Amino acid sequence: MATENLHFHEHRVARELKEKRNQHKSRVLWFTGLSGSGKSTVANATEKILHDMRLQTYILDGDNVRIGLNKDLGFSPADRTENIRRITEVAKLFADAGSIVLTAFISPYREDRDKAREIISTDTSLKYLLVQIYQFVNREIQKAFTKKQEQEKSKDSLVLTLLMKHL
């Protein structure tokens, strides 16, 4: 694709102004792990906590993105890399809009995660936090996140404690 006629346009309303209006900084929280490990469950629980704190959030979930934006991609190594590249660019756009972006994707290649961090962190004031989920496969634990509000509170406070250290 020829890019010689493309030019980046600065917006009149900078991300910093959006952050000031939202009363919080933009962030990208990158949840990764194996299929069924609980990435989406933890991302959703985290988003609920942040939303309840009146913070502007958005989740980019692997299945949802593959149903739409990335429906033309398969699961070959090249397609997986392109999937992560596109997600990274979309996450950066949402962060530029002043949101805390939570991504929940299988991102198996370290070089793709490193590239995502590099793209998102080109502006040193924008933070990227990688959250690797190794084991969250016990479906009974996963159900406990959504079963009752009272049961969620203790788990939510653990997620919140870990998250607030990085926001």
Q: Which residues are catalytic?
A: 107
164 in Cβ contact with 46 (< 8 Å): no
With a CB cutoff of 8 Å and minimum separation 6, the contacts of 88 are: 115, 116, 119, 120
- Positions of E strands within the chain: 27-33, 57-61, 100-105, 127-133
Report yes or no: 91 and 60 within 8 Å, Cβ to Cβ: yes
Residue 15, helix vs strand vs coil = helix
The distance in angstroms from the start CA to the end CA of the chain is: 37
Contact 62, 104 (CB under 8 A): yes
